[in-house]
A and B are shown apart, each in its own frame.
Chain A
Amino acid sequence: MSSYLIKNIQLANGNVVDIAIENQKIVDLAPNLTFKAEVIDGSGLIAVSGLVDLHTHLREPGFEGSETILTGSKAAAKGGFTSVHAMANTAPVADNAAVVEQVYALGKSAGYVQVQPIGAVTVNLEGKQLSDMGKMNKSQARVTVFSDDGKCVSDSLIMRRALEYAKSFDGVIAQHAQDPALTVNAQMNEGDLSLKLGLTGWPKVAEQAIIARDVLLTEEVGSRLHICHVSTAGSVDIIRWAKARGINVTAEVTPHHLLLTEDLVSDYNPLYKVNPPLRTQQDVQALREAVADGTIDIVATDHAPHTKDSKDCEWGEAAFGMLGLETAAAIVQTTLVDTGLISWSRFEEVLSTNPAKIGKLTDQGQPIAVGSFANLVLIDSNRKQTIGLEGESKSANNPYVGMELNGVVKHTLYKGTLTVKDGVVQKLGETND
């Protein structure tokens, strides 16, 4: 196990310090430290707590053609993440203890990030019967986040029961808000453009109506609710209202919904096909402001790898989803920090502290202080990068190719192990505890 001395690193609060790391933890933190260890030069870099993704699709078991837990973990590390929550829509679905324990074990043996499995809310994501939520919570995987993401828990009774049942172990239900009846065969945001392109629309109300129902259910039941990938200004308004009433709801936004809009769909390029769909500039602006004012608590990638074949076809046949792990930090810096909307402290909150809190990960999202686990990402915020096709992910459905973004992840430390050095994912020796 290596020790490190990070010299002259700027923290989110602006202070420049040295950080000494030993045995997975931060053992000393102050300017001008003396400590015998491999030196990492932090000059010109910013350190924030290792990023935590509350919404990732690692595709294993079942869809290893597009990603595996190993390749996804590497992509995450490259993006500055030290933990990812793996969504349950695998094959078989993660609706029982056996599957979540398998995912947990594979994550541990890969060793690049802390892979925290998410359990399905309903059996086989069918929305009819609650899954083994309790057993998943008690298993080695210690599941506390439950989601049928990919699908909406649309039956009001099931959603109520899920919220109530999860109270038993302080679990949180993460809802993919999409009324199925209003979005049959929906392809893109419903509006003027969808009419011109002849694509079936995905109306904003289909997201908003579910959020409205669910926050009221949460209030009624006294439980915890999390809204996945919020995509509309109207949704933000409802969440703001709910929080003002004291309802225990948290919300996430994806990097792509902070940057991309529906006009990219005009050429029918399936790289821009995603669920929920890209919306308008007004929605993008409202979402950015919501991250700044606290209505939206976290940024989560919804990293959704797809094989080349499922994107190299006509729009109607193409799969929904975009990559996100490797570009998330740069997008949040470009759209929120560099535009003056948020500070680096808020950056750390939305990408690390808050997701760890919602996921109840005690070893993640800790303040950079003596005694905390050394989960750190060192970002060169002054460098720009033009996004290329090459990446760690097994898939290539990256909608940002050719775009210039601000900020590059230089080093990532996962519990004191350097997983990324000088922007290059490292080969790991043995597994980490």
Chain B
Amino acid sequence: MKHLLSINDLTKSDAIDLLNLSAEMQLVNKRDVKKLPALNGRTIVNLFFEDSTRTKFSFELAAKRLSADVINFTAKGSSVSKGESLKDTVGTLEAMGVEGIIVRHHHSGAATTIANASWSSAAVINAGDGTHEHPTQALLDSLTIRQRLNGSDLGDLTGVRVLIVGDILHSRVARSNALLLRKLGAKIAYCGPATLVPVSALELVDEIFYDFDEALSEGFNVVMMLRIQAERMNSAFIPNAQEYSTLYGLSDSRFESLSSKTLIMHPGPMNRGLEISSSAADSAQSTILEQVTNGVAVRMAVLYRLLAQEGKA
């Protein structure tokens, strides 16, 4: 496997291998000396065209724990803000001998374009491309679910039922999660207003709910809340934030109606009080901070798999 661009690049056994390898990486991250020599002397770049603190730090930390040299490239204050093309930016990195490119970009398909073009021979990891996919997020979410529900079991997620709530149309996290959870045997449903949950979504999930309360009464094992963005209100997808919150927010009362075993997840960053209440976000059922911790382990596993094991291109 040369690149990780989409969950579709993984077979079920690839995915489970990565989860198991991530579990090993979690143990490394608990030791005093959190270091493996696997990527010693290799150069990796974080090519981020979109603002992101947590994902960028997470990848940087993961690469450093594997002893790689990491360069951070942000769009602001670089030649890209002066209009350098993606092709030239990637070409410059190639000329500097970069072997792994972790890319986050506002255009869907950007990671695929870099991987397929002749601009660079580096391994490409998609850290979020437009509204298309965010594969490492899905992997860390599945790892979190597996560990919380199945303990140290190293298998799949058969029998687990997951509800993803929010702006599905614009969410790369919703897409990658649906693909991976389905691959691992879970049952998934989307919930949100019809403007943000198109009928085509039935290609990705088993069920669609427009009524959040009805969805919650179905007893899902996992409720994953997505962030709602201000732009959606400006393009007439939803009337206003208040209405969205009333209909689709995980309020205190909705949270209390859930079983104490239901996991509450959120990819972050959260709009506290909008799509998720503080009591839900800070509860014992919430996995929000674990997701962050697991993110480093998952990204270590992915980097190890793509760069340490596959060798030079």
Contact = CB atoms under 8 A, between A and B. Distances in A.
A430 interface: no
10 contacts: A192-B200, A194-B200, A195-B169, A195-B204, A197-B108, A198-B109, A198-B172, A267-B112, A316-B109, A316-B110
A196 to B, nearest CB: 7
Contacts of A196: 175, 203-204
B58 to A, nearest CB: 22
B106 interface: yes
Interface stretch (A138-146, A306-314, A377-385): A306-314
Interface string B78-100: 00000001110000000000000
A317 interface: yes
Contacts of B86: 313-314, 317
B107 interface: yes
Contacts of B235: 184
B105 interface: yes
B56 interface: no
B116 A267 contact: yes
Interface in A256-273: 267-269
Contact of B203 (A187, A192, A309, A315): A192
Given A197-B108, A309-B85, 10 more contacts: A192-B200, A195-B198, A197-B109, A198-B108, A198-B109, A198-B129, A268-B113, A269-B116, A314-B110, A314-B113
Interface residues on B, range: 20 to 34
A191 interface: yes
B178 to A, nearest CB: 10
Given A192-B200, A197-B132, A199-B108, A313 B116 contact: no
Interface of B: 85-87, 105-110, 112-114, 116-117, 129-133, 169, 172, 175, 198, 200-201, 203-204, 235
A195 B201 contact: yes
B30 to A, nearest CB: 36
Contact of A315 (B107, B175, B198, B200): B107
A313 B198 CA distance: 29
Given A197-B132, A198-B132, A316 B204 contact: no
Nearest to B132: A198
Contacts of A268: 108-109, 112-113, 116
6 A-B pairs with the lowest CB-CB distances in the bound complex, closest first: A268-B109, A198-B132, A316-B107, A198-B108, A198-B131, A195-B200
Contacts of B114: 314
B109 A199 contact: yes
Interface in A301-343: 309, 312-317
Nearest to A185: B235
Contacts of B112: 267-268
B200 A316 contact: no
Nearest to A198: B132
A269 to B, nearest CB: 7
A315 to B, nearest CB: 5
A269 B85 CA distance: 16
